[in-house]
């Protein structure tokens, strides 16, 4: 039986999709800023090669200046790609926020990448129900890993640390655009999707946004 080839596609709206996940790809070059950032992260994680979708991303993106949606199956390396973009923006002197839906994911991000970023001279803080940072720590952080709800509340309170964000990574989201032109606090409610719409509606005018989604569509029919 002949197995079907792996297929990849980056669509015009900035979505990276993977038809199937297979073996690790080959080593990555170092000709672009994206490739150099990828090599730094690979070395930190003691990996010698990239997963196929990661390799596709690194090869085809020379720089990342606009909003981006990364949509891939679970386990195919979305977080690693997000960290490439974060590292690039930190190198540009921009503050970054990683907005997480789960405390366990927040802990994973800090555990896996906090030491590397600290060694590179960047401060990393985590702010959630278990690990709480002070307002001063959040204001001075180069990368802050924050829960959705915590960040939404801080936006409502107009906390100083929510200003001047260069990059916002929003994990587990599929849509960048909010159809609601303005959001009032009394309409936020307790629904997480509404809170995300609120966050994006306020961030998209002042911050570059990168969203990650595990939902996979049949792009190849």
Domains of the chain plus CATH, in order, are: 8-213 (3.40.50.300)
Q: What are the average pLDDT values for consecutive 10-residue runs of the chain, which has 221 residues?
A: 36 37 41 89 86 87 83 86 96 96 92 94 94 96 95 92 95 53 46 78 89 63 38
How many angstroms separate the first and last alpha carbons of the chain? 21
For residue 29, give the 3-state DSSP assignment. coil
Tally of CB atoms within 10 A around 41: 20
pTM, rounded to two decimals: 0.77
Residue by residue, what is the 3-state secondary structure of 131-157?
A: CCCCHHHHHHCCEEEEEHHHHHHHHHC
- The pLDDT value recorded for residue 205 is 83
């Amino acid at each position: 039986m002949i197995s079907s080839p792996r297929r990849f596609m980056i669509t015009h709206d900035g979505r990276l999709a993977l038809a199937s996940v297979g073996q690790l790809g080959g080593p990555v070059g170092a000709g672009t800023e994206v490739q150099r950032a990828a090599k730094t992260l690979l070395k930190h994680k003691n990996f010698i090669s990239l997963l196929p979708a990661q390799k596709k991303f690194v090869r085809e993106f020379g720089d990342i200046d606009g909003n981006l949606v990364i949509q891939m199956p679970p386990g195919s390396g979305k977080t690693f790609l997000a960290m490439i973009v974060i590292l690039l923006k930190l190198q540009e002197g921009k503050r970054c926020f990683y907005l997480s839906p789960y405390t366990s994911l927040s802990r994973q991000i800090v555990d896996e990448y906090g030491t590397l970023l600290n060694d590179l001279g960047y401060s990393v803080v985590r702010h959630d129900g278990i690990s709480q940072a002070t307002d001063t720590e959040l204001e001075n952080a180069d990368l802050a890993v924050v829960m959705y709800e915590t960040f939404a509340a801080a936006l409502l309170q107009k906390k100083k640390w929510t200003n001047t964000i260069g990059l916002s990574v929003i994990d587990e989201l599929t849509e960048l655009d909010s159809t609601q032109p303005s959001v009032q606090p009394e309409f936020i409610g307790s629904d997480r999707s509404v809170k995300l719409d609120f966050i994006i509606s306020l961030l998209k005018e002042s911050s570059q946004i990168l969203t990650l989604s595990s939902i996979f569509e049949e792009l190849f029919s």
